[in-house]
Structure 1
Amino acid sequence: MRQNPSFTMTDVAEMRRILDENPWMTLVSATPDGLVASHYAVLLDEDRDDLTVVGHVGKPDDGIHGLGERELLVIAQGPHGYISPGWYAPGPNVPTWNYVAVHLSGIPEILSPEENLRVLDRLVARFESALPQPRLMWQAPNDEEYVRRLERGTVGFRLTPTTVTAKRKLSQNRPEETVDEIIRQLDAGSPYADPRLSGEMRRAHDAMLAARLRSAPGEQA
């Protein structure tokens, strides 16, 4: 992912938030047979405060990816959407796409069966918890034999990234009045944008304005 200083994200807390709020991720490996991509739910490691993530793949995806033997790229895609040139001030303009993305890469550690079970249990609990009648992994009619048989069909992993690339391209290079208009248009509803995108834009621009205030001469008391 090509970086641009205007759009680079370096705040670990913000990257963790994006990872936590967008757990459906893409896993990419370069193999002797070419590139391989898979799609799985991935979570932050609850025992760490960095960008370490945990997840699993179903067999035989572990072998296809060479999991634990070669570098794995994990891509988290945050809110994104089409930005119309009609939302800018009059004049020549072209459309663009605003987005947030975090890329993590490194060689993952393979989890033990018991560690994998804990991650699988946490994954189920994470997504069932919002439902009116949650069905947790160890809940009847599932029994231990059934759950452990499911675990044997998966391979869990923990990735502590050695390379991190994060980007939020949210019109930070545009005048404030243009940003306000884009947010207004997104709030009105767009067929080509995640409804969360306007909130991400507000967050990014509030952070940028706060940073400018902190660095401005004479702002120190």
Structure 2
Amino acid sequence: MRQNPSFAMTDVGEIRRLIHLNPWVTLVSQTDDGLVASHYAVMLDDTRDDLTIVGHVGKPDDAILGLGERELLVVVQGPHGYITPRWYGDVPAVPTWNFVSAHLSGIPELLSPDENLRVLERLVDRFEGDGDDARGLYRLPNDEAFIERLERGTVGFRLTPTRVTAKRKLSQNKTAEVVETIIAGLADEGPERAPLVAEMRRAADARVRP
């Protein structure tokens, strides 16, 4: 991802927030047969305060990706959307696309079966929600045979990135007035634009904060 100083996101806390809010990532690896990609959910490692992530892949994706043997690129995609030049006023302009994204690269560490199981349990706990559903929450069965099948079918990993590129392109190169016009225009387009509106508002507020 080409970096631009105007849009660079370097604050670790903000990148952690991006990962937490957008756990469905793309895993990319270079193999002898060319590039391969897979899609899985990841989480921040709860024992660390850096950008270390944990996750798992199903077999044989571990072998296809060369997990633990070669560099892995993790693409985290946040809110994004089309920006029309109509919102810029009567000036020469072209359309663009606003987005928030991060690339994390490094050689992942393979987890032990016990660590992998803990990651799986954390994933389930997070996405099952708060238990308001009358049917109750799902939990991984505490059954030895079931756990053995899980261990045979998945491979957990921990990635502490050695290279990070994060970008928040949210019209920071426009005047505050134009940014407000863009935010209003996006909001008028419907609720599906809400995540991008929220990110633009966050960036705009940070811009004027002393």
TM-score (normalised: structure 2): 0.94
How far, CA to CA, are the matches of 1:92 and 1:129 in structure 2? 47
Aligned-pair distance for 1:147?
A: 2.9
Structure 1 segment 186-197 matched on structure 2, within 5 A: 186-190=186-190, 194-197=193-196
Structure 1 residue 146 corresponds to structure 2 residue 149: no
For 1:136, the equivalent position in structure 2 comes to 139
- Aligned CA-pair RMSD: 1.4
How far, CA to CA, are the matches of 2:74 and 2:199 in structure 1? 21
Does the 8 A contact of 1:57 with 1:155 survive in 2? yes
Amino acid at match of 2:74: V
User: For 1:195, what is the secondary structure of its paired residue?
Assistant: helix
For 2:203, the equivalent position in structure 1 comes to 204
For 2:81, the equivalent position in structure 1 comes to 81
Does the 8 A contact of 1:189 with 1:195 survive in 2? no
Identity of aligned residues (%): 67
User: For 1:46, what is the secondary structure of its paired residue?
Assistant: coil
Aligned-pair distance for 1:122?
A: 0.6
**Structure 2, unpaired ranges of 5+:** none
Amino acid at match of 2:137: P
Amino acid at match of 2:139: L
User: For 2:76, what is the secondary structure of its paired residue?
Assistant: strand
For 1:98, the equivalent position in structure 2 comes to 98
Does the 8 A contact of 2:22 with 2:78 survive in 1? yes
For 2:4, the equivalent position in structure 1 comes to 4
Aligned-pair distance for 1:194?
A: 4.0
**Aligned residues, how many?**
207
The C-alpha deviation readout for 1:191-210, integer Å capped at 9, x for no partner, is: 9x642101101111221222
Structure 1 segment 26-41 matched on structure 2, within 5 A: 26-41=26-41
**Structure 1, unpaired ranges of 5+:** 214-221
Amino acid at match of 1:32: D
How far, CA to CA, are the matches of 2:130 and 2:147 in structure 1? 22
Aligned-pair distance for 1:130?
A: 4.4
Does the 8 A contact of 1:27 with 1:74 survive in 2? yes
User: For 2:35, what is the secondary structure of its paired residue?
Assistant: strand
How far, CA to CA, are the matches of 1:54 and 1:25 in structure 2? 12
TM-score (normalised: structure 1): 0.90
Does the 8 A contact of 2:28 with 2:73 survive in 1? yes
User: For 1:122, what is the secondary structure of its paired residue?
Assistant: helix
How far, CA to CA, are the matches of 1:147 and 1:88 in structure 2? 57
